[in-house]
Amino acid sequence: MNPTELRKRLIEEARRRKLVMLTAYDYQMAKILDDVGVDMILVGDSLGMTVMGYPDTKSVTMEDMIHHTRAVARGVKRALIVGDMPIHSDDTPELALRNARRFLEAGAHAVKIEGNKPEVIKTLIDAGIPVMGHVGLLPQTAKRYRVRGKKREEAERIFRDAVDLDGLGVFSIVLESIPKRLARRITEAVEAPTIGIGAGIHCDGQVLVINDLLGMDESFKPKFVKRYAHLERIIREAVRRFIDDVLNERFPDEEHTYH
Ligand code: KIV
């Protein structure tokens, strides 16, 4: 879809109701999220931690992102798929354009760019590629994960970045880990819908990493994550029961055996 049309569509939608985005990294999860009615599916570079076991997103490559975007795209019929441009994939506008096109070829409808990179973002939008912005905590460059914009100077920079991105024509802006008051100020000042993660209730929509929502890692629980399930516990228990059944020759029983 063309960037202006998508922006217009989302602005109108956000006037009626909150927008919902979740991450997905594979076919089965994407199919479920799409089916249940999530508006946007982000193939986030958070897959560095959730899927690949890295400590952060800094080692994620374009190859990793394309592989997972293809898998997600196979499961989605309706939702908007946003491919997260990984670190260094947008170092120059030319490189960013090549890489953004790879995301679209893999099945994404749009890309997300971390930070205020006006030349890169303008190049992509001029080329017809919808861009989602991202301000606040920027994991690709952050030395430490902490709330941003508590101090006035940092808050003003984040605010200006969001206003700049809006002026460039992004179709929405992720606000990550900022105080709710700042998120409200940004949301009221920009036209593009804001999608919060750790940014409070006043954003136009919300995003969470699906693994966090599902409780896949009980040891990881930042303040902004609400767990809607405890899958780590459920998986552990299921696997324990399987081990026990195999060791005690209860599986496979007659019901699960061909004759
Ligand atoms: O990579 C990711 O999952 C993200 C979200 C946290 C917005 O960028």
185-220 pLDDT per residue, tens? 999 999 999 999 999 999 999 999 999 999 999 999
Place of tokens 């017809």: 128
Q: Whose CA is nearest to atom 1 of ligand 1?
A: 44
**Among the atoms of ligand 1, which is closest to the Cα of residue 114?**
8
**Residue of 13, 105, 176, 255 with catalytic role:** 176
203 and 248 fall within a common domain:
no
Closest residue by Cα to atom 2, ligand 1, is: 44
- Shared domain for 181 and 239, answered yes or no, is no
C-alpha 45 – ligand 1 centre gap (Å):
6
Write the DSSP assignment of 185-214 as a string of letters.
HHHHH-SSPEEEESS-TTSSEEEE-HHHHT
pLDDT for residue 1: 83
Full domain range(s) for residue 235: 231-259
Is residue 139 scored above 90 in pLDDT?
yes
Mean pLDDT value of segment 157-173: 98
What distance in angstroms lies between residue 208's CA and the mean position of ligand 1's atoms?
8
Q: Is residue 126 domain-shared with residue 248, that is, in the same domain?
A: no
For the CA of 209, the nearest atom of ligand 1: 3
Instruction: Determine the pLDDT at residue 82.
Output: 99
CA of 257 to the centre of ligand 1 (A): 44
248 and 201 together in one domain: no
Are residues 140 and 106 located together in one domain of the fold?
yes
Q: Ligand 1 atom 4: the closest Cα is on which residue? A: 44
Residue 16's pLDDT is what?
Answer: 98
Confidence of residue 75 (pLDDT cuts 50, 70, 90): very high
Q: Let me know whether 41 and 153 are in one domain.
A: yes
Q: Do 174 and 243 share a domain, yes or no?
A: no
> Is residue 176 among the annotated active site residues?
yes
The pLDDT score that the predictor gives to residue 44 is 98
Same domain? For 204 and 244 the reply is no
Confidence of residue 180 (pLDDT cuts 50, 70, 90): very high
- Model confidence at 144, in pLDDT bands (50, 70, 90)? very high
Q: Please state the atom number of ligand 1 nearest to the C-alpha of residue 21.
A: 7
Same domain, residue pair 66 and 79: yes
Domain match, 174 and 161 both: yes
Number of other residues whose CB lies within 10 A of the CB of residue 161: 21
Region of poorest pLDDT, from 2-6, 101-105, 142-146, 171-175: 142-146
Mean pLDDT throughout 145-158?
Answer: 97
**Whose C-alpha lies nearest to ligand 1, atom 8?**
44
pLDDT band of residue 77 (cuts 50, 70, 90) is: very high
Q: How far is it, in rounded angstroms, from Cα 211 to Cα 45?
A: 13
Percent of the chain at pLDDT above 70? 100
What CATH number does residue 201 fall under?
A: 3.20.20.60
CA distances from 32 to 22, 28, 75, 171, 185 (A): 11, 6, 8, 25, 34
CA of 238 to the centre of ligand 1 (A): 29
**Same-domain status, 139 and 220:** yes
Q: What is the mean pLDDT of residues 55-62?
A: 97
Pocket residues for ligand 1 (CB within 6 Å)? 23, 42, 44-46, 84, 174, 197, 207, 209
Whole-number Å distance, alpha carbon 243 to ligand 1 midpoint, is 35
CA atoms within 13 A on the CB side of 222: 15
Q: What is the pLDDT of residues 98-124, one digit of tens each?
A: 999 999 999 999 999 999 999 999 999
Which residue lies with its CA nearest to atom 5 of ligand 1? 44
What total number of domains does the chain contain?
2
On whether both 242 and 195 belong to a single domain, the answer is: no
Helix axes 152-168, 118-126, angle to 10 degrees: 20
Give the atom of ligand 1 at the shortest distance from the alpha carbon of 44: 1
Mean pLDDT across 224-238 = 98
Q: What is the mean pLDDT of the chain?
A: 98
Q: Which are the contacts of 15, defined by CB distance < 8 A and separation ≥ 6?
A: none
71 pLDDT more than 90: yes
